[in-house]
Amino acid sequence: MTIGILGGGISGISLAAQLDENVEVLEKRARIGGLCGSIIDQGFTFDAAGPHIMFSKNKEVLNLMVATLGDNVHQRRRENKIWFKGQLVKYPFENDLASLPKEDNFACIYGYIVNPHADEAPASLAQWSYKTFGEGISDKYFIPYNRKIWNYDPAKLGLEFVSRIPKPPMEDVLKSSIGIPTEGYLHQLYFYYPVEGGYEAIVHAFAKKVRGRICTSSPVTEVKRSGKGWQVTTKNEERRTYNELVSTIPVHELLTVWPDAPKEAREAASRLRYNSLINVLLGLRGDGVPYTALYIPDPAIVFHRLSFPKYFSERNVPHGSWSVMAEITANEGDGIWETNDDQVLERVIVDLEKMGLVDRNDIAYRRVVRFQYGYPVYELDYRENVTVLRESIARTGLHLLGRFAQFDYINSDVCVERALALAKTLNDV
């Protein structure tokens, strides 16, 4: 084999699909999919890391992903809401201010218009929010929600991902406050999703195009330079050598199996923060609610988002049932990560009952899943650290690709986009 790829998530598999038969993918788990993976159990399908939708600003990539799914794809309309003081507000928040209690609506629109931060140059996510939305929207929604999803103080988060957050036109915010409907965040309003098999179906669809080998249950235990190539050892002491090596596994994992990794990379990685996820999956009897997801800024509720797989595809639930996934961002040492699964489950069910969404007698399926690597956190010194990390590894000739390999908050479409670009380079070698 001339090319070795570590990791069988969408990055590794979509890259392999663009290469010839001399490629081998080594995946730790028994199943490919990674963060795009789905759990299919007792008739319920959940995208285990969190709800996944297919969309992209890159039309070529989106078309490729949709075409790769063949007949197994349909389009859905986003129906997201924000849970605010027991009421449902349309997402994004600033596009539905009229649904807020009147005092809150006034505070939001007043803060938006009379904004002492409007001319400030923001240095953190919190400051950006005050400048962009004003104090009302920031204090009531944006900052508490971001504190929950990032499990971190928004004043310590940088500006790296604000380009992903659309800035609402003033006209929309004014209209929304007096109740004239507007729609924000249009590029995600309609999204694609597999009819069958959950989001993981896209990874299997790419896998069908792979001409080389995909080895599952093959955790990499050592990576070493060997002449001009690379030697890779997997569990059971199996050794392989490749001319070119691509790692799509989390870079923190790569560094634990690569004793000769550059020292600067190790130091930079130790300064990069990431979040873990605890997701509670519940299958229920009945009809459920007609939403894609609910966002919950309320700090008294343990989860920051609920999603409803039936809305993504009817086939995600057995007939006469619905399901819900509750997402909790966690970090080792924060208490919630240390809470056992039964306690997390109970806490989530209590909160869902408080919200009036679930009756525990209807629960037919329950499961808790944990992901160590969920979100790369863009701290204030993120760019500096990630640059050292990437550049020092690039100098060794090892290629990094994907969300946690490159330590970049990217979605599956960008993984595919970068896989296409890397495949061009590798095909030219």
Rg (Cα) of the chain, in Å, rounded?
A: 22
Q: Least distance (Å) from ligand FAD to the CB of residue 49?
A: 4
Q: Least distance (Å) from ligand FAD to the CB of residue 37?
A: 7
Q: Least distance (Å) from ligand FAD to the CB of residue 411?
A: 3
164 closest CA partner among 61, 267, 57: 57
157 closest CA partner among 373, 404, 381: 381
Between residue 11 and residue 70, which ones bind ligand FAD under the rule CB under 6 A? 11-12, 26-29, 34-36, 49-50, 52-53
97 vs 426 by CB, closer to ligand FAD: 426
Measured distance CA(210)–CA(417) in Å, rounded? 17
Phi-psi region of 389 (alpha: psi -120 to 50; beta: other; left: phi over 0): alpha
Among 4, 5, 7, 212, binds ligand FAD (CB under 6 A): 7
Q: Least distance (Å) from ligand FAD to the CB of residue 105?
A: 30
Tokens of 404: 């946690």
| Residue 219: partners with Cβ closer than 8 Å, 6 or more residues away | 26, 28, 234, 235
User: How many CA within 13 A on the CB side of residue 227?
Assistant: 5
Between residue 210 and residue 229, which ones bind ligand FAD under the rule CB under 6 A? 219-220
Between residue 232 and residue 251, which ones bind ligand FAD under the rule CB under 6 A? 248-249
Between residue 153 and residue 212, which ones bind ligand FAD under the rule CB under 6 A? none
Using rule CB under 6 A, residue 9 touches ligand FAD: yes
From the list 75-83, 106-114, 125-133, 411-419, the region that binds ligand FAD by CB under 6 A is 411-419
| Residue 324: partners with Cβ closer than 8 Å, 6 or more residues away | 282, 284, 288, 306, 307, 308, 352, 357, 358
From the list 8-16, 66-74, 115-123, 356-364, the region that binds ligand FAD by CB under 6 A is 8-16
Measured distance CA(127)–CA(373) in Å, rounded? 27
Contact footprint for ligand FAD (CB under 6 A): 6-12, 26-29, 34-36, 49-50, 52-53, 219-220, 248-249, 253, 257, 374, 402-404, 410-413, 415
